[in-house]
Structure 1
Amino acid sequence: MKLFLFTTDEAMAREAQDAGVDSIIVDWEFRGKEERQEGHNLEINRDTLGDLQRLVKACSIPVTVRVNALSDASRDEIDLAIGNGAHIIMLPMARSALDVENFLKMVDSRARTFIQVETVSLAESVKDIRDLPWDYAYIGLNDLSVQRKSLSIWEAVLDGMIERICRTLQGRVFGFG
């Protein structure tokens, strides 16, 4: 199991590092997030380039940057993150294997890659990304439940969707929550 922590607090990041956390996440995902999560009381971060630079200097563990969903700005955002020390790039809201393939091409083996499975379309077609060369995946129950119009984030666990995804990704490094 790999432990990733969202924080821009240097003291907390160092404490997490000492406690065995594997990576600190700097969260640049904000485009379209307010509209997508409206009425759901979910966290929206506005982490900065300065946060990334500070944490890269403060931590000896890898720093991950969660970029925005794929767009015309993705290549520049990925280049900026890697150029400023990000070790892992996380892609949110991928909708298809093509999205994942395009993301992997943009990263171009310059950093490890982290795919969030949090759209219904990607969750239902996860077999199409199983053998792609990403490093980590995470099944995001919050956005998945918003897309599914679920009453609870745990509905995808209870109806078997998460179990199907886990069986499909068996042998790969992934988690959910």
Structure 2
Amino acid sequence: MIYKFITNNPELARYAVSCGVQRIFVDMEYLGKEERQGHIDSHKARHTLTDLGNVRKAVPDAELMVRINPVHERTPAEVADVLKAGVDVVMLPMFTSAEEVAKAGALISGSARFSLLLETPQALTRLDEILELHDMIDEVHVGLNDLHLGLGLDFMFEVLSGGLVDVIAGKVHKAGIRFGFGGVARTGEGAVPAELVLGEHVRLGSEMVILSRTFHQNARSVEELKSKIDLGKEIEKLDACLNGFKNGDKSLLEDNRQNLIAAVRSVVREKAIA
């Protein structure tokens, strides 16, 4: 499992890698984010090209991913800048069509791996056409937050419990592309317990997950993070949970799926009452 850690702090990035994080995630997306997510508690930091360069220097041997803006008039310059900074993976968010994917993919042109953040109803509907571009796509990560907002749902994990992620995973795997989804809290925590979500990662053949802000309590420095959690031990707990599901039988995964569905329905009911 590739754990993605979002930060623009070079020292925090270096520490996260030393604790077992495989991929540092610098987030340069800002176009439209406030309008979409301004009413919810989500990651909205605006990282910069300077941040990207500083983090690259701090973790020269780790995977470095950058989320650029959705396709717009400055996309060619934006892609050129992040490639020059030496990123390993470029993530395209909020795409709605195969044409947008093809444009960004052509700009990257194999100079970095190309990651799609599938998070719009349009992209979901047009997924078959988008995956026809499989030769230029290296991975697909389902963004539960924006996708649930776009679908008018009440809770992001409804996308998972309702079976939509199953459909996406099946299509992505068939295209021979690496697949992942969402974020995860620490074991024993989360509105839906992290263990239930991790079981679904195993059942669906996911290889990537974001360590959520709740996972590291939105720490902005190494000192702050160390004062809150032992990052290395928490990652070991995730690994142990994943291995438990991988070494179990299909009935374990099916029982976990049913428990996740029940947990999600409970959260949705509570939101309706509130």
Question: TM tier, shorter chain?
Answer: over 0.9
Q: Which runs of 5+ in 2 are unaligned?
A: 183-274
Partners in 1 of 2:109 and 2:155 — Cα distance?
A: 37
Q: Is 1:137 matched up with 2:107?
A: no
Q: Aligned partners of 1:46, 1:65: CA distance in 2, in Å? A: 12
Map Cα deviations across residues 20-40 of structure 1 (whole Å, 9 max, x no partner): 322211111001111122312
The aligned counterpart of 1:22 is 22
Give the helix-richer structure, 1 or 2: 2
Moved more, 20-29 or 123-132: 123-132
Q: Does 1:174 align with 2:179?
A: yes
Aligned residues: CA RMSD:
1.3
Determine the C-alpha separation between the residues in 2 that align with 1:27 and 1:156.
23
Tell me by how many angstroms 1:11 deviates.
2.4
Which residue of the other structure, out of 160, 164, 167, is the alignment partner of 2:163?
Answer: 160
% same residue: 31
Task: Name 1:12's counterpart in structure 2.
Answer: 12
Query: How far does residue 102 in structure 1 lie from its aligned partner after superposition?
Result: 1.0
1:63 aligns with 2:64: yes
Computing the radius of gyration over CA atoms, which structure comes out larger, 1 or 2? 2
Contact (CA 8 Å) 2:90, 2:112: kept in 1 or not?
yes
> 2:137–2:177: 8 Å Cα contact kept in structure 1?
no
The Cα offsets for residues 18-65 of structure 1, whole Å up to 9 and x where unpaired, read as 233222111110011111223122221111111111111110212111
* TM-score relative to the length of structure 1: 0.94
- Corresponding residue of 1:147: 150
Quote the Cα distance in structure 1 between the aligned partners of 2:162 and 2:25: 30
Query: Quick check: 1:84 aligned with 2:89?
Result: no
Aligned AA for 1:25?
Answer: F
Distance, in Å, in 1 between the alignment partners of 2:50 and 2:96 is 30
Which amino acid in the other structure matches residue 139 of structure 2? Y
Counterpart of 2:258 in structure 1 is: none
List runs of 5+ in structure 1 lacking aligned partners. Answer: none
